[in-house]
């Protein structure tokens, strides 16, 4: 069975949301700038709660931000 993982479009959506910085997104979500960078790089899969918060801040449906593929 091929290994699936959580992928995301945070970087693109952040750019489309007025070029929001990682620090700004992190502050609004409640995590550090480094954690946002790790999420974007696929080095960290956030908790469900943080993932929902990111989608909320980016004003996008959850499945547009995070995917399981």
Say whether residue 32 binds other proteins (CB under 8 A): yes
Query: How many whole angstroms separate alpha carbon 35 and alpha carbon 8?
Result: 14
- Does an H or E element contain 35, and which? helix 33-40
- List the one residue from 11, 20, 45, 52 that touches other proteins (CB under 8 A): 45
Say whether residue 34 binds other proteins (CB under 8 A): yes
- Give me the least distance between CB of 15 and other proteins, in Å please: 21
Phi and psi at 6, nearest 5°, equal -80, 125
State the residues that interact with other proteins by CB under 8 A.
Answer: 23, 30-35, 38, 41-47, 50
């Amino acid at each position: 069975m091929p290994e699936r993982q959580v992928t995301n479009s945070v970087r693109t959506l952040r750019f489309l949301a007025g070029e929001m910085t990682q620090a700004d997104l992190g502050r609004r979500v409640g995590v550090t700038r480094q954690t946002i960078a790790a999420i974007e790089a696929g080095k960290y899969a956030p908790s469900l709660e943080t993932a929902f918060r990111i989608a909320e801040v980016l004003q996008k449906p959850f499945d547009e931000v995070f995917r399981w593929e």
